[in-house]
Amino acid sequence: MSTVHGDPYVVDKNLGQKLVLSDGDLPTVNADGESVVELTQEQKYLFDTRGWLLMPGVLMQEEIDAMREFALRLQQEPEALPEHHRCAVAGPLEKLADHPVVVGFLNEFLAFPHLSSASCYGYRMESAALRYRTSAPEQQGAFSPHNGSGMFRFAHDSHHYQCIPGKAFSGLTRVVWELTPVHKGMGGTLLATGSHKAAYASPESTENPDSAVWETYECPAGSVLFFTEALAHSTAPWTNEANPRVSIFNLYNSVGSRWGTWNPPAELVQEMPPMRQTLFRGTHCADNLPGYRYGGQNQQDRRPLDGCGE
């Protein structure tokens, strides 16, 4: 028996009409002109049912080396970097913000098509942070479970998750780039699989890091972990003595929602390609698609401005 994947009925903003996507509504290349990597049906299913998805070995070794070197400078000698580059989205780490794999994932689970185009991302970058952990007690990180039950949280909270047959939306989405190897049970992020849809409050065993509630992962350097912030999750103390944890925690949100106050330095954003800059545009929906004006209520009614857009 074959599986048939039909198009979901996603309601448009015009009196409940169906949202119909056209070519050019979502980017197919990133700011560097690299082709977007679309999710497989299995990857969509796994993320929706589990609330997290690991893609091992995404980066090439030369990328890993350059990014880890920059991250360590940022951690250990930030004064050696220009002031506006003292940021986890600067230097070679900048390319992680809209890596082709990330764009493919977010096109599926976060992009708002009315505020997206072939040259504009349909979501915004909420924050970027370096996490440096060692096995030394003062640098391990602390177990601190939080979140969960995102199906029942209000949208303004950002930590929410919505789905209908064939389509899901992760309001606040975490993307973790592991730049050093992660050994299972020795410090990788803990994840309470499926808890983004939990209808019951978490059990007391959630407060035990060894509980069967928690799952974790292992991966080589250069891997990427996606999880919805609607999922219950926690830091796990880093006990791996073979290498420190050097990871980049990027966070994405919808164009019309904001959780924190973080912004990258304006000078840094100005140095980025125009398409990457759209990750850091204002937090609002109306008139927030660069280069377009709207002539009606439907997605099909938007028109490029003269001399602007694609």
Comparing 15-24, 77-86, 255-264, the range with the smallest average pLDDT is: 15-24
pLDDT (tens digit per residue) in 112-156 = 998 999 999 999 999 999 999 999 999 999 999 999 999 999 988
The β-bridge relationship of strands 292-294 and 302-304 is: antiparallel
Residue 1's pLDDT band (boundaries 50, 70, 90)? low
Read off the pLDDT of each residue in 199-216 and give the average, rounded to a whole number.
Answer: 96
Domain layout of the chain by residue ranges? 46-257+267-280
Q: Mean pLDDT, the chain, as a whole number?
A: 93
pLDDT at 302 over 80: no
pLDDT at 297 over 60: no
For residue 13, the model assigns a pLDDT of 82
- Reported pTM: 0.93
Q: At what angle do helices 100-109 and 41-50 cross, to 10 degrees?
A: 60
For residue 309, the model assigns a pLDDT of 37
Please name the CATH architecture into which domain 46-257+267-280 falls. Answer: Sandwich (2.60)
Please say whether the beta carbons of 230 and 196 come within 8 A.
yes
Please say whether the beta carbons of 153 and 259 come within 8 A.
no
For residue 290, the model assigns a pLDDT of 87
For residue 308, the model assigns a pLDDT of 36
pLDDT at 299 over 70: no
pLDDT at 4 over 70: no
31-35, long-range: CB < 8 A, 24+ apart = 31/98, 31/272, 31/273, 31/274, 31/275, 31/276, 32/95, 32/98, 32/273, 34/100, 35/100
pLDDT (tens digit per residue) in 177-204 = 999 999 999 999 999 999 999 999 999 9
pLDDT at 305 over 60: no
Angle at the Cα of 17 from the Cα atoms of 118 and 149, rounded to 5 degrees: 80
| Percentage above 90 pLDDT, the chain | 86
Give Cα 76 distance to the centre of its chain: 26
* 134 vs 144: CA distance, rounded Å: 17
pLDDT (tens digit per residue) in 70-113 = 999 999 999 999 999 999 999 999 999 999 999 999 999 999 99
pLDDT at 301 over 60: no
The β-bridge relationship of strands 223-228 and 161-164 is: unpaired
For residue 293, the model assigns a pLDDT of 60
